[in-house]
Amino acid sequence: MMSDSRPSSVIQEWVSSYPGQAHLTPVGPGQSSAQLAQMDVIPYSQSQGMMRGGGEDRLAEQMMGLSYLPYSASCLGNASNSVSSTHHQSHGGSQQDFSPFLLPTLKAPVTKRSISKDSAEYRLRRERNNIAVRKSRDKARRRILLTQQRALQLQEENQKLQLRIGQLTQELDTLKHILSQRHLQGAEDGAAGESSI
């Protein structure tokens, strides 16, 4: 099954991994963009998606070189729903438990029906999500591999093209030289002919 028949198969697969949606790719915070502007590459967020928890703060720090400090001494400490559940941490520490009388326009953080972590429905949804997560990550891994292989292949192809250009250039120089010689010789012949008359 797909045992790389031709050398360009990698590129074929790679292209198929990026359905052209043309997001114009902001390329991500703190990246240099290099305005290539063709087939966005970035799946659909990664560039501006992470505004949850303390994410953007730490990310901004990283961008400026302030590296990987703990969230703010700790990010644990507020179980969101929770009913029983001996295990399962609630890590995430999103939306600080700011009292509902701050920001009066937003009603309290919703509380989301408080689904028991022991309920069959919860487990079912978790298991489904776990499967989806594994699938998605597998896909991502494959895409990364394809990109790497594609880069190597393009690099190889580049070298060949450079070589070809070298050959053509040299051949061109040779011909130009010959032509200039012919031209000179032609002029001399013409002069000789005139003088011999």
Partner DNA sequence: GTGCATTGCGCAATGT
Partner DNA sequence: GACATTGCGCAATGCA
Residues 132-191 that bind DNA (CB under 7 A): 132-137, 139-141
The residues, ordered by sequence, that sit 6+ positions from 80 with a Cβ below 8 Å of its Cβ are 90, 92, 94, 112
Query: What number of H helices and E strands is found in the chain?
Result: 3, 0
Site for DNA in 49-108 (CB under 7 A): 49-50, 52-55, 58-59, 71, 75-76, 80, 88-92, 94-95
Residue 130 has φ and ψ, to the nearest 5°, of -60, -45
Q: Does 176 bind a second copy (CB under 8 A)?
A: yes
Count of CA atoms in the C-beta half-sphere (13 A) of 4: 9
CB closer to a second copy, 20 vs 70: 70
Q: How far apart are CA 186 and CA 192, in angstroms?
A: 10
**Binds 50: which of a second copy, DNA, none (CB < 5-8 Å by kind):** DNA
Q: Residues 177-196: x/- map of binding to a second copy (CB under 8 A)?
A: -xx--x---x--x---x---
Q: How far apart are CA 58 and CA 45, in angstroms?
A: 17
Of positions 66, 168, 184, 191, contacts a second copy by CB under 8 A: 168
In single-letter form, the type of residue at position 16 comes to: S
Q: How far apart are CA 26 and CA 16, in angstroms?
A: 21
Segment contacting a second copy (CB under 8 A): 6-14, 95-103, 105-113?
Answer: 6-14
In the complex, the smallest distance separating the C-beta of residue 197 from a second copy, rounded to whole angstroms, is 10
Chain residues in the site for DNA (CB under 7 A): 42-46, 49-50, 52-55, 58-59, 71, 75-76, 80, 88-92, 94-95, 112, 117, 125-137, 139-141
